[in-house]
Structure 1
Amino acid sequence: MAESLWRAIAVYRIAALIYVAVLVVNNVSVYARPLLAWPVLAATAGWTVFTTYAYAVPARRRPPLLVADLLVTMSVMASSGYIVGSEALRSGKPTLAVAWHVAPVIAWAVAGGRRGGIAAALAMGATDLVVRNHYDQAAWTGTVLMLLAALAVGYLVNVAEVAQQRLQRAIELEAATRERERLARDIHDSVLQVLALVKRRGAGLDGEAGELARLAGEQEAALRTLVTGRTAEIVDESVQTDLMTLLEPYASDAVSVAAPADAVRLPARAAAEVAAAVSAALDNVHRHCAPGTKVWVLVEDEPEAVTISVRDDGCGIAPERLAEAETQGRLGVAQSIRGRIEDLGGTVRITTAPDQGTEVEMSVPKKEIE
């Protein structure tokens, strides 16, 4: 999109130069110093050729060239007061720049957005008013039109940049989806079938064989969720993601994940930290509770906060055990869970008792992490 705009500026500059030449030929007879109009017209043509080639290279579209373009055009316009003369300008004759002076304003708008375009338009408009030396409605029209052009082009550039970013994200998402589908087919034809077979064959066995079958069933469910779960939704703000795309892979025969139907949107960093805290809570259950302990992960998306509860029906934790573990340097709860959530401005509440299971409730306020 940007390249198309720079080419359009070059075409506009050339067309405006032709218009300038036609007006100079038609009006030169009424100029105060007509002989000087031809060198200025030649300089205008030379600068048009130079900028056409200079702006064609992206590396040259930098402040030095943009400032030089603005100053040269302002000089051409300023010379109109001496060459055309104040009487001819008051009678309605155009300056030597005519519409050619809009080109650098558009160039500034493309390079610097609306702010750059407005700055260039104000500088060029001030020069135009000084040269004309009268401030009626006709004199202000050119300045107003330049400001409108700067605003429109600057807005178009911003829209084009956002559209380009969205297109890039869509291309990346499509590529990731295709790769995921390919991997899902390969995994389905190999790993998932083997795990399902182990689960079926060992379902009625006791001892280690039965435990192996159970673990195979859990891994099959987790892997199936991973390859078939929903992908991250493209949202308007590129820094946001759907928290559930990070939590759903934890679902298995032993872990149930419940969430709202809509995406739970959080900034990407915050979502990753919350998912890591949930992972730490699940890891504690797997480490300290009996195999097969059921775990429920509940996500609530409220207007002011996102609340995640991880509850199990395992062995529970003695009241003094958390403080004792932190003293011994075991920082799973202190840092992996509470530290992460508190860094996001949230709170963690742990409800537990021996042989009564444990519930870890994590609440993250949305305003603190936007």
Structure 2
Amino acid sequence: MSVWRGIDASDPARRQFESVDRFSIQQSRLAYRMARTFGFSGVIGAASALSLPGAATLPEYLWSIGSLALLAVAHLLLARHPHGLSVVAVYAVGIVCLAVVGIATGPTPDASASAALVMIAGWGVGCIGAVLTSTWAQVILLTYGVATTATIATLLEANIGDDPALSAPVLVTLGWAVTTVFGVWLTRASPRVMRRISSIGYTYLIERRASEAEAQRHRDARLLHDTALATLTLLAHGGRGVDEAAMRDQAASDRDLLRRLREGESPSPRSSGAYTLTHTAELQLSGTLEAVKARFANSGLDVAWHGSGQLGLEHARLESFILALTECIENVRRHAGVDEAHVTLSDDGMVVRGVVTDAGAGFDPETIGRSSLGFQQSVIARVKDIGGTVRVFSSPGAGTTVVLEVPK
């Protein structure tokens, strides 16, 4: 069964082929398991009918139960090994079972024995109708199975009553019809289900692409904020506090970064300056902090470092933590109006913590808007992405303290 023919190769739904293949396998398993259930119903019904008094003598009853047990084993194999040979095995064992029970119950079976024969022919064997509805070849085999079992039941005179509705051909055909209707329903429902799977997959793909695009937009915004915009801010303030050589190096680094972006590269977010194009994960923590210290030493801000020099975070999370910490110090340099800041690092085994404190102008934390790119994206979003939190304590004229906490 292939409802995917005709789908254009550029359609995102093509990505759902693997899921559809798995669904087709599950559909086939369901059909074979339902065939087993129908078959068991026939076996149990026949065994119950033969257990009624007068249906058969004890030796004949035991032979009949043995053949029904063999048919039940065939049903188990049908569900465990869903294959055409398993279908043939059920049919063959079912015919043998019909013959054994027919001989055991004699040429004129009573109502209970007739019911047992009908259950075997219509359900014990007819159960395979649930898996013979997908192709024309299977339909031909289905027709053959109905005809042979109905004929055998008729020859064995398995009529439960004188009413034509209770005759063997009618009851056997009815059993086959029930299993076949289920198989047809399952076959016809599959294309609709797969189309819905395709629709859901397509919708998910669009939403995922939109989320990825939004995340990339935020990463690009952080990148530009921490690189070229930081340099432009220094230029706007006349490069105050930064020596000329450091300014030239930083501008050259930004120019190289912008060129790479223009040529289609996707560098990971880095801060501005030559030191920033080295992957933080490739540096030891002490080297990373020394690079940060060197940057702000050249920018006119005196940063006093306190606490642990070893933070137990894996490289990717450590990088984001250092970048957020660097942006907090950069905010002191830009906005606090002081030339000194204190940074305290600690690792208590559960949480890695960074505290940036200054005695500068301060501000009202409530004024940090969601659209504030500098703090919202370069600090809060970065720390949040690695599972951490950011707390800000400040008031106008009383300095600022920013606490970054990342669980290990």
The alignment's TM-score, normalised by the length of structure 2, stands at 0.30
Structure of greater Rg = 2
**Structure with greater contact order relative to length (CA < 8 Å, sep ≥ 6):** 2
